């Protein structure tokens, strides 16, 4: 008997059966009365418990870059699980960990030579912030403790990442957070740069806000600036032309480390291995996760420059240079998945594919410009966001209605407030790109 990958394996869950699972980032009470349950996934599609195929316009959550259930990745995980399931991260490791670190440094920008493994993007960000402080302390600059990030930034849910995040809703209920944090303004300005295609021409000067902050705080108190090269969850905000270069220059002038949070932009989303490669600006530290294993096993990482790594290696002999790590750092299954994912990206030429499809993607996205409620559209690589005018008295309603209609129509996109976010697997075809934007068109013309 052959197994149908799309066969429904579960009878519908009762409310009672759902009760123990406290879903993250979900209104649990609402969800449990009308759940969306997936029972399978393959390539570009999810399969629901009522056996519908849903085209995945989000690559899961910006992460399944090579599409679902890639056979080589599945087999690599299975083989690794049978061979070596776990190794402690205390003075032990295994060959796949060294190999994956080497492969990642090969595709990272030149000079980013060392990888510290974590299990998620949040852990990668917290690790990077600790490394930044450690770097300055190693230089005798223990007063450099302050971090600078940006409004609308998302850097995960750990205390460090939350402290530098700029999404107010995420921070609101959990204070006090790390106090030594300042936020630069975000770069989204529809008045000057609405409907920009790719990087907006307007806005590089906003990097100079960093210089202004340095007049408030002495630069000798600043450890690092952390930015997503393209703000992701905050609404797909590509950096204005010249902006990242300016940030890099100011950081260099004042001995401040620059961290790129590439949890979304890493592993091909922008048509290059990392955003740093795509924009030609090299940070001192990159954080990554998601596409690192094609999301098949949780994994994150911090890629550090030789300068940062070497500073931390200067301590006394036999001392642990960075007293930090996780039980599952460089987990064998994650490393096996990571190596297989890199093979798949390479063999299918997916980074180049994303670069080649980006203009097609852009044209489809901006083809929605004249539809009702649309007030801005942004895109870069295989990322897009569509801002809708909020309905009076009901902010967020249009966004969620539109995303729900797309889902009923067989297309998964994300409604975040009144912004529609789209980020498909890089294996997407031109026809499927057309299908996604056609579904959004139908949804938008159908809502009030
Ligand atoms: N940083 C960025 C830029 C992200 O987009 C995310 C997740 N969307 C994170 C950090 C956190 O990653 P994780 O959810 O794996 O902890």
Domain count across the chain? 2
Same domain, 312 and 227: yes
331 falls within a domain: yes
Mutate to test the pocket of ligand 1, among 155, 263, 265 (most ligand atoms within 8 A of CB): 263
Upstream peptide bond of 176 is cis (omega within 30 degrees of 0)? yes
CA 63–ligand 1 middle distance (angstroms): 10
> 160: domain CATH number?
3.40.640.10
Angle between helices 332-347 and 95-107 (to 10 degrees): 40
Q: Which atom of ligand 1 lies closest to the CA of 62?
A: 8
228 falls within a domain: yes
**Ligand 1 contact via 263 beta carbon (within 6 Å):** yes
**Ligand 1 contact via 292 beta carbon (within 6 Å):** no
Residue range(s) defining the domain that contains residue 218: 73-347
CA 15–ligand 1 middle distance (angstroms): 30
CA 356–ligand 1 middle distance (angstroms): 26
Spans of the chain, pLDDT less than 70: 1-11
Q: What is the pLDDT of residue 444?
A: 97
ipTM, two decimals, is: 0.99
Distance CA 278, CA 265 (A): 10
CA 145–ligand 1 middle distance (angstroms): 23
CA 170–ligand 1 middle distance (angstroms): 13
Distance CA 397, CA 401 (A): 6
Q: Tokens at residue 353, please?
A: 């594919």
9 falls within a domain: no
Specify whether the CB–CB gap between 264 and 422 falls below 8 A.
no
Q: What is the pLDDT of residue 10?
A: 55
Q: Of all protein residues, whose CA lies closest to atom 13 belonging to ligand 1?
A: 121
Same domain, 109 and 244: yes
At 415, give phi and psi (nearest 5°): -100, 120
> 62: domain CATH number?
3.90.1150.10
Same domain, 326 and 364: no
Q: Which atom of ligand 1 lies closest to the CA of 161?
A: 10
Same domain, 375 and 314: no
131 falls within a domain: yes
- In the sheet that 419-422 helps form, which strands lie side by side, from edge to edge? 374-380, 383-388, 419-422, 414-416
Same domain, 158 and 263: yes
Q: How many CB atoms lie within 10 A of CB 166?
A: 22
**Ligand 1 contact via 435 beta carbon (within 6 Å):** no
Q: Of all protein residues, whose CA lies closest to atom 4 belonging to ligand 1?
A: 263
Same domain, 58 and 78: no
**Ligand 1 contact via 232 beta carbon (within 6 Å):** yes
Same domain, 184 and 316: yes
Q: What is the pLDDT of residue 2?
A: 41
Same domain, 153 and 235: yes
- In the sheet that 411-412 helps form, which strands lie side by side, from edge to edge? 38-42, 45-48, 53-56, 411-412
Domain boundary among 285, 316, 347: 347
Task: Compute the chain's Rg from CA coordinates.
Answer: 22
Helices (H), 172-280: 190-193, 209-216, 243-253, 275-279
* Beta-ladder partners of 48: 38
Specify whether the CB–CB gap between 164 and 181 falls below 8 A.
yes
Domain boundary among 320, 347, 374: 347
356 falls within a domain: yes
**Ligand 1 contact via 153 beta carbon (within 6 Å):** no
pLDDT tens, 29-46?
A: 999 998 999 999 999 999
CA 279–ligand 1 middle distance (angstroms): 20
Same domain, 282 and 371: no
Q: Which atom of ligand 1 lies closest to the CA of 287?
A: 1
pLDDT tens, 116-172?
A: 999 999 999 999 999 999 999 999 999 999 999 999 999 999 999 999 999 988 998
**Ligand 1 contact via 156 beta carbon (within 6 Å):** yes
Domain boundary among 282, 316, 347: 347
397 falls within a domain: yes
Place of tokens 């592993």: 267
Specify whether the CB–CB gap between 118 and 124 falls below 8 A.
yes
Q: What is the pLDDT of residue 342?
A: 98
Q: What is the pLDDT of residue 3?
A: 44
Mutate to test the pocket of ligand 1, among 289, 291, 294, 300 (most ligand atoms within 8 A of CB): 289
Same domain, 258 and 282: yes
């Amino acid at each position: 008997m052959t197994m149908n990958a799309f066969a429904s394996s579960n009878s519908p869950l009762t409310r009672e059966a759902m009760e123990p699972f406290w879903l993250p980032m979900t209104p649990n009470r609402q969800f449990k009365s009308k759940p969306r349950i997936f029972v399978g996934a393959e390539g570009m599609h999810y399969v629901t418990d009522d056996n519908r195929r849903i085209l995945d316009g989000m690559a899961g959550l910006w992460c399944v870059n090579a599409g679902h259930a890639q056979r080589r990745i599945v087999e690599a995980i299975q083989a690794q699980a049978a061979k070596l399931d776990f190794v402690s991260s205390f003075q032990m490791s295994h060959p796949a960990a060294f190999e994956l670190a080497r492969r990642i440094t090969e595709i990272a920008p030149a000079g980013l030579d060392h990888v510290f493994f974590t299990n998620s993007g949040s852990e990668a960000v917290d690790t990077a912030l600790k490394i930044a402080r450690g770097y300055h302390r190693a230089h005798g600059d223990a007063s450099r403790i302050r971090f600078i990030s940006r409004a609308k930034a998302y850097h995960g849910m750990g205390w460090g990442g939350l402290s530098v995040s700029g999404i107010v809703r995420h921070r609101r209920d959990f204070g006090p957070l790390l106090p030594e944090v300042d936020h630069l303004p975000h770069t989204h300005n529809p008045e000057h740069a609405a409907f920009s295609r790719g990087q907006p021409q307007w806005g590089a000067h906003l990097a100079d806000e960093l210089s202004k902050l340095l007049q408030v705080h002495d630069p000798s108190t600043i450890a690092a600036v952390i930015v997503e090269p393209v703000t992701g969850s905050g609404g797909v905000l590509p950096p204005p032309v010249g902006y990242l270069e300016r940030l890099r220059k100011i950081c260099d002038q004042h001995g401040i480390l620059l961290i790129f949070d590439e949890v979304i932009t890493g592993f091909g989303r922008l048509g290059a291995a990392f955003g740093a490669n795509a924009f030609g600006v090299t940070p001192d530290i990159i954080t990554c996760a998601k596409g690192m294993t094609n999301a098949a096993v949780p994994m994150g990482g911090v890629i550090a420059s030789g300068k940062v790594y070497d500073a931390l290696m200067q301590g006394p002999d036999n001392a642990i240079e960075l007293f930090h790590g996780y039980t599952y750092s460089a987990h064998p299954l994650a490393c096996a998945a990571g190596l297989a994912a890199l093979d798949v990206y390479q063999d299918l030429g997916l980074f180049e594919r994303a670069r080649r499809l980006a203009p097609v993607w852009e044209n489809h996205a901006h083809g929605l410009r004249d539809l009702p409620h649309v007030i801005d559209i942004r895109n870069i690589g295989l990322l897009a966001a569509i801002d809708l005018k909020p309905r009076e008295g009901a902010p967020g309603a249009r966004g969620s209605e539109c995303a729900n209609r797309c889902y009923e129509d067989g297309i998964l996109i994300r409604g975040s407030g009144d912004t529609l976010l789209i980020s498909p697997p890089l294996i997407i075809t031109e026809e499927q790109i057309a299908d996604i934007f056609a579904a959004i068109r139908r949804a938008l013309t159908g809502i009030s």
